[in-house]
């Protein structure tokens, strides 16, 4: 069966939920994030706020400077999870096979229920209608022959857009976009490519083996060039949904003291472990996230064969990952966070471990 993949992305999800809870907020700019008078960061901005240049990961202080009449809300994650559950329940009524990659986005196995791209478009429209009917939220959908193209397509006509890239048009569709829009191209790869005069996905796709090995050596470079050409063999991951449980905090002042940072991580690990206990789950992957004073972000992860659910072990791993990140790039931090993923019911992970 030929592959047809959809990528669904809820539009300005956190902000859209807040607007549903209080329709009066739709009249103006809205940011969900931290304290605009402190060191908070924008998690989501509604489209009215985006017209002022406000975007995710920007400091809330900068967002306030750009638009002083913006309304700021602290995130309400339990509320967002509730809406997300309703969204994905409605999606599965139309497309049974789904890989969730977050509360607000995921891939759809359209090839299982659509014989061609015309039928896939109809299903994409049905998914949008189902989400709107169940929650009043809008979503954008990209449809293509593979994951990477579908993900890029879902972001092209927000909000409530539907973009279909027929088979054979993948490379031509991707070619004009800046390299940074290609999933997997981070800031350092973008910089290396730009210094070499390559600023578009098409330019990356056209690199020879020799030049690619100089600019982006190793397996990663070959993967990124394949993606730039619209080639992506990844299948939907259905074993476990890649939704993580985590906690992060922005400091009032930049912190460089290692003992202080370790203490913060251990405290967050206790909160994460409590959330795991509430859900009856364990996790195999622990991730530590750090944000430096220039707002750049680094994360380090480790995956264990057995599921974890205790605060002490999660905290130990989180501290070790922090040390790794700071060895790679020393410096004071404005934010640290701990998250766990590869989640499954605790009993399931325990049985899998003892049976191996």
Q: Which of 19, 99, 105, 264 is catalytic?
A: 105
Structure tokens at 15: 């902000």
Q: Residue 11: name the closest of 39, 62, 61, 47 by CA.
A: 47
| Cα separation, 147 vs 168, whole angstroms | 15
Q: Residue 211: name the closest of 228, 230, 192, 227 by CA.
A: 192
Using alpha carbons only, give the angle 161, 242, 344 rounded to the nearest 5 degrees.
Answer: 145
Residue 190 designated active-site: no
Tracing tokens 């972000």 back to the chain, one arrives at 297
Tracing tokens 């622990």 back to the chain, one arrives at 286
| Cα separation, 180 vs 193, whole angstroms | 10
**What is the full DSSP assignment across 85-120?**
HHHHHHHHTT-S-EEE-SSSEEEE-GGGT-SSHHHH
Identify whether the C-beta of residue 66 lies closer than 8 Å to the C-beta of residue 53: yes
Beta-strand (E) ranges in the chain?
Answer: 5-10, 30-33, 42-45, 71-73, 98-100, 105-108, 139-144, 162-164, 245-255, 281-292, 297-308, 333-345
Identify whether the C-beta of residue 265 lies closer than 8 Å to the C-beta of residue 338: yes
| Cα separation, 12 vs 159, whole angstroms | 8
Please enumerate in sequence order all residues whose Cβ is within 8 A of that of 137, keeping only pairs 6 or more positions apart, or say none: 10, 11, 13, 16, 17, 20, 83, 87, 131
Q: Which residues are catalytic?
A: 105
């Amino acid at each position: 069966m030929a592959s047809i993949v959809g990528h669904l992305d809820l539009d300005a999800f956190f902000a859209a939920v807040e607007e549903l809870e209080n329709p009066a907020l739709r009249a103006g700019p809205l940011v969900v994030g931290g304290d605009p008078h402190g060191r908070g960061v924008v998690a989501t901005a509604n489209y009215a706020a985006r017209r002022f240049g406000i975007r995710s990961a920007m400091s809330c202080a900068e967002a306030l400077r750009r638009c002083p009449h913006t309304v700021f809300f602290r995130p309400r994650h339990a509320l967002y999870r509730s809406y997300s559950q309703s969204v994905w329940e409605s999606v599965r009524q139309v497309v049974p096979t789904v890989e969730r990659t977050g509360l607000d986005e995921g891939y759809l196995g359209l090839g299982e229920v659509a014989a061609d791209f015309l039928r896939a478009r109809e299903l994409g429209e049905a998914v949008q209608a189902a989400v709107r009917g169940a929650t009043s939220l809008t979503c954008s959908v990209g449809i293509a022959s593979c994951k990477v193209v579908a993900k890029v397509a879902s972001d092209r006509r927000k909000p409530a857009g539907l973009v279909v890239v027929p088979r054979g048009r993948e490379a031509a569709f991707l070619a004009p976009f800046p390299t940074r829009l290609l999933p997997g191209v981070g800031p350092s790869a973008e910089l290396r490519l730009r210094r070499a005069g390559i600023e578009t996905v098409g330019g990356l796709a056209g690199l020879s083996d020799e030049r690619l090995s100089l600019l982006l050596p190793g397996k990663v470079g070959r993967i990124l060039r394949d993606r730039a050409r619209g080639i992506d063999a990844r299948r939907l991951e259905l074993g476990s949904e890649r939704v993580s449980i985590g906690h992060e905090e922005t400091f009032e002042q930049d912190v460089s003291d290692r003992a202080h940072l370790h203490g913060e991580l251990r405290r967050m690990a206790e909160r994460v472990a409590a959330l795991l206990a509430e859900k009856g789950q364990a996790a195999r992957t622990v991730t530590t996230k750090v944000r430096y004073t220039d707002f750049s972000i680094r994360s380090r992860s480790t995956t264990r064969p057995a599921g974890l659910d205790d605060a002490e072990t999660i905290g130990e791993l989180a501290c070790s990952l922090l040390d790794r990140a700071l060895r790679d790039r020393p410096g004071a931090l404005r934010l640290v966070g701990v998250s766990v993923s590869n989640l499954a019911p605790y009993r399931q992970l325990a049985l899998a471990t003892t049976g191996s």
